[in-house]
Structure 1
Amino acid sequence: MKLRSEKIQHLKCLCCILLVCTLVGCGRPAGYPDAWAAPDKGWFFNRLNGCPDMRGQYDGANENLVASLIGMDSIRMRERFVEQRVEVRQPDDGAWIEFEFSINEAGVEQLAAGGARRIIDGSYRKIRYLRNHDYYCRDGFIVRDGVEKKHVYIGKDGDKGLIVGEESVVKNSIGWGDSPSIDLPDGLRTRWLRYPHRDPARDALFLQQGHVQLSRAEWLNRDSVPVYIYSFAVSPVCIRLQYQYSAEHFTEHFVASPSELCPKPWGELHVGDSIIVQMEFPEYPDSVDSYHLQIRPANSSIGKEASIVITDARLLPVQKNAPALKLNATDMRVP
């Protein structure tokens, strides 16, 4: 009787294990790195109508993630984006999923260091897919069928990281010397990428970081010099440039892209944006001619407006030696 009771108990345990494996999935997918935390398939009752809950922020995103999401390796080969953060959104019914990219702390440092890398283009900045049209949910993953990739799997791991698996078809064949090769059945290979979880509490402080850089070119254009205005401020900044040609009169010399965030005649610069202005030399030493550059954050709670008067652009620092002009600094004056 006791032996029979123990067998029944073992059967119950086995049934429980099978049930758990059915609900959350057991084991690791093909090619999944052993050093990573195992995929978190999620309990059935914690899913969004059968789809995994992917909501949250993740760091380390770049052209690799964009290429995975849209299924185009040409993006990975052609574009070179600085590091981003990506926020994933889903409704409670799991009817769609959205990925929105924006720059992170490492990306700002990469932009300021120079080079050809840049932030993600507007066409890829926000990507939204519809369930049962662009993807389906299976075994705790969001699955997309692609053209260049057979399948793309999107999920979470046990450390709350975003994991992406790209399944590709591999052509197999064998041959000896100069003899014709013999085709074998195609194989599948899965490449996995991981993007760590980001605490959204970091965003409030991060949005106050960054700077604007003002510099000149190393060369002169006859009676003028090219002046560069770069924004490395995370939040958008408003700029206005006036030219003073007499003691009392000014004229609008240049306005950046108009925006609802900046009143006219101010223009807006986003992080990574830059403009080039040709500033003429003063006609004589005691000339009143000068350029008046005004800069302020679009969000007035971050910092105050600063005014910079440039009487001779030739005295500006060259690009590689230009200082960082902090929006909330007490003194932003340059020569």
Structure 2
Amino acid sequence: MEIYLVGGAVRDGRLGIPIKDRDWVVVGATPEMMKELGYRQVGADFPVFLHPKTGEEYALARTERKQGRGYHGFTVYSAPDVTLEEDLKRRDLTINAMAESQNGTLVDPFNGLADLEQKTLRHVSEAFTEDPLRILRTARFAARFYPLGFSICQETKDLMRTMIRNGELEDLVPERIWQEVQRALHEQTPGVFFEVLQELGALDVLIPELTNNENFRAGLQALECLSLQKSSTAQRFSALMCAIPEPKATARAKAMKCPNDCRDLTHLVCLYAEWLSNCKDTNLPASGVLDMLDQADLWRRSERFEQLLATLACTAHSDFVEQLSTAAQVAAGVNPQDLLKQGFTGKELGNAIRNERLARITQALTP
């Protein structure tokens, strides 16, 4: 039985990047042998075990064979006769297909170290085409390592284009696509992920609303702005979609099965962005502002409204965002209890609250 450190830990170690997770491959072992050594099996589709002390993942060396279309169309073979090279060959990129023995010796059958030094993202073998998710993963690695000067080699780009033309992306379920998009939104240069997808023609399938160049450029600019600050997935995704008409943006978020917070913020960002783009005066109309605060449910969702403002700061005129912030502050300061004490109840109380909020907004926004 031989144990090797594999994948990202080997790659990042060579790049001098802090290693977050360590994955291991075990050659020449059976599930029974692993269990006897105290490892706990967790893999349902193929044998993966947790180390009894460190909790790190140890997978038995395996090969995969494509049996049908889509992410689940694989037959996995795992046995003691599977070699390390056979296991590494099924991986996506050469820089992810290196291993280290327990004494630190590098095992590099596909020249990943050379590609690492040349800052090249290259597929390991034709097996790359068996999993369409690798198109998104490769674009995500391009976004992660772009600041270090990495780029995708032409041969791999051509292979990805062929996969897209053959309709492979259409076999991916929305949950898998969203998982990669979410990760990409938090890479160092998330815009590169979407630029790669646009170049290859993948956006036509994944987010066709962004194939409009004006929408795409506006979205990337807003996303870059948000990526330079601490921001949530919902903020980054809604920034990307900010120039798309609200009904289409909301429908796309729903089709992608985004989490509810992403759908809700996308709805509000696009709604506000469109409204602000139609405001011709330098000062926002008080009644319109109050209507928009109602739409955002500021009164019950103040934290979400703060996220909305921070996102709009990357998509809209700064003066407008400042006015919205001021209006929200003064309007939220209206205390319904004070109006109840004045004798307002029922529908009259609702009207009184609105009138007081409107009066305060009007005063705050008056030059």
The question of a shared fold, defined as TM-score above 0.5 by the shorter chain, is answered with no
Shorter-chain TM-score tier: under 0.3
Tell which structure's C-alpha radius of gyration is larger: 1
Q: 1 or 2, which has the higher strand percentage?
A: 1
Name the structure with the higher helix share.
2
Taking structure 2 as the reference length, the TM-score comes to 0.24
TM-score (normalised: structure 1): 0.26
- Which structure has more RCO (C-alpha within 8 Å, separation ≥ 6)? 1
